[in-house]
């Protein structure tokens, strides 16, 4: 009881069509897959359009599609360009920006897509203004690693490597898409996470572990709007760890040092999950789940644990 004193897949992917459901998937021999679902038809919509994209791993089916977007198969019938190891899938995206009187009103980032709506430009005509975008998804966890526009959209995978380059030449330009991977530990993370979708993608890109759990905990406390997604992931992570019992009243610390003591503490009999121990063995990073099923991350002195 807390108290207070105040994606590696070497196997090739198979592209299949589920005729009865009119769905298309990319499957690996290891089991993970991308699933394109809900066939779309209608004016201004291409014949090979899908409204939903899912990442499937075991029993988990994760919606990685975006609101007001839909997805297209390539002209040759394939879904995307797979990296040589099969770890990554390269998508092509189009950003459609609606403009009126030469002022950009709003934009949609679309996975190789079309939006069936037109807006007047004010001169008696209407049209779409588009710009090519590209995206890479990690097939090991469903992480959308990067988005970009410009010349890099014409790059392709280098033979036998998960490297995007303008050609196979030695001096070819290389696009470092891995450097764009979302991370909870980068500066200005709260500005990067603009919505729940961005946060859930970050949790796929960088699952909770002992090196980032403190950062996620701080973000959880500061962002009530996104709390449910972080809380669920944090509870799953903590429950996977070994458990110990508090044997004495134990003050909670923000860091493994004396000058970071808080006003909160645990009492004898409380159960905690062990995240890690400090190098000198004096401190233990613990996770505590209270009666309301809320997680707390803190440091305690090791002598207070059984």
pLDDT digit string, tens, across residues 174-211: 988 888 888 887 655 554 566 778 888 889 999 999 99
Superfamily name and number for 241-304: SH3 Domains (2.30.30.40)
Q: Mean pLDDT over residues 65-71, rounded?
A: 68
Q: Domain residue spans in the chain? A: 7-181, 241-304
Which residue has better confidence, 9 or 235? 235
Q: What is the pLDDT of residue 104?
A: 42
C-alpha to C-alpha distance for 271 and 106, rounded to whole angstroms:
50
Tokens read off for 237? 């992570």
C-alpha to C-alpha distance for 120 and 105, rounded to whole angstroms:
12
Tokens read off for 48? 């090979």
Confidence band, pLDDT 50/70/90 cuts, at residue 149: low
Q: What is the pLDDT of residue 284?
A: 97
- Give burial (CB, 10 Å; 0-12/13-18/19+) of 184: buried
pLDDT tens for residues 101-119?
444 433 332 233 333 345 5
* C-beta atoms surrounding 294 within 10 Å: 14
Residue 86 CA to its chain's centroid (Å):
19
pTM over 0.75: no
pLDDT higher than 80, residue 157: yes
pLDDT tens for residues 76-99?
444 457 788 888 887 654 444 444
C-alpha to C-alpha distance for 116 and 145, rounded to whole angstroms:
28
Sign of CA dihedral 101, 102, 106, 112: positive
8 A C-beta contact, residue 106 and residue 96: no
Residues with Cβ < 8 Å from 142, sequence gap 6 or more? Answer: 7, 32, 55, 57, 62, 64, 204
Helix, strand, coil shares, percent, the chain, to 5: 20, 40, 45
Q: What are phi and psi of 63, to 5 degrees?
A: -80, 115
Q: What are phi and psi of 43, to 5 degrees?
A: -65, 135
Among candidate residues 91, 186, 196, 96, the one with its CA nearest the CA of residue 144: 91
Strands 23-27 and 60-63: unpaired
Strands 33-39 and 23-27: antiparallel
C-alpha to C-alpha distance for 298 and 288, rounded to whole angstroms:
8
Q: Mean pLDDT over residues 20-41, rounded?
A: 72
């Amino acid at each position: 009881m807390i108290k207070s004193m105040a994606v590696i897949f070497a196997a090739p992917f198979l592209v299949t069509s589920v005729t009865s459901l009119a769905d298309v998937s990319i499957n690996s021999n290891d089991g993970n897959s991308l699933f394109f679902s809900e066939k779309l038809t209608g004016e201004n919509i291409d014949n090979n359009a899908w409204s939903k994209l899912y990442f499937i791993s075991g029993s988990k089916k994760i919606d990685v599609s975006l609101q007001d977007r839909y997805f297209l198969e390539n002209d040759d019938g394939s879904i995307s360009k797979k990296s040589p190891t099969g770890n990554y899938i390269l998508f092509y995206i189009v950003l459609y920006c609606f403009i009126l009187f030469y002022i950009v009103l709003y934009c949609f980032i679309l996975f190789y897509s079309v939006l069936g709506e037109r807006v007047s430009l004010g001169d008696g005509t209407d049209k779409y203004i588009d710009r090519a975008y590209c995206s890479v998804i990690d097939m090991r966890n469903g992480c959308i690693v990067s988005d970009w526009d410009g010349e890099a959209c014409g790059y392709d995978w280098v033979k036998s490597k998960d490297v995007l380059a303008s050609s196979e030449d030695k001096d070819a330009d290389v696009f470092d898409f891995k450097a764009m991977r979302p991370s909870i530990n980068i500066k200005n993370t709260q500005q990067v996470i603009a919505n729940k979708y961005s946060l859930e993608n970050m949790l796929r890109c960088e699952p909770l572990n002992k090196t980032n759990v403190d950062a996620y905990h701080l973000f959880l406390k500061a962002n009530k709007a996104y709390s449910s997604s972080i809380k669920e992931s944090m509870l799953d992570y903590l429950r996977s760890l070994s458990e110990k019992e508090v044997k004495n009243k134990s003050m909670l610390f923000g860091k493994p040092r004396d000058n970071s003591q808080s006003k909160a503490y645990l009492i004898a009999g409380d159960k905690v999950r062990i995240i890690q121990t400090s190098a000198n063995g004096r401190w233990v990073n613990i996770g505590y789940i209270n009666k309301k099923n809320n997680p707390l991350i803190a440091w305690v002195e090791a002598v207070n644990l059984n």
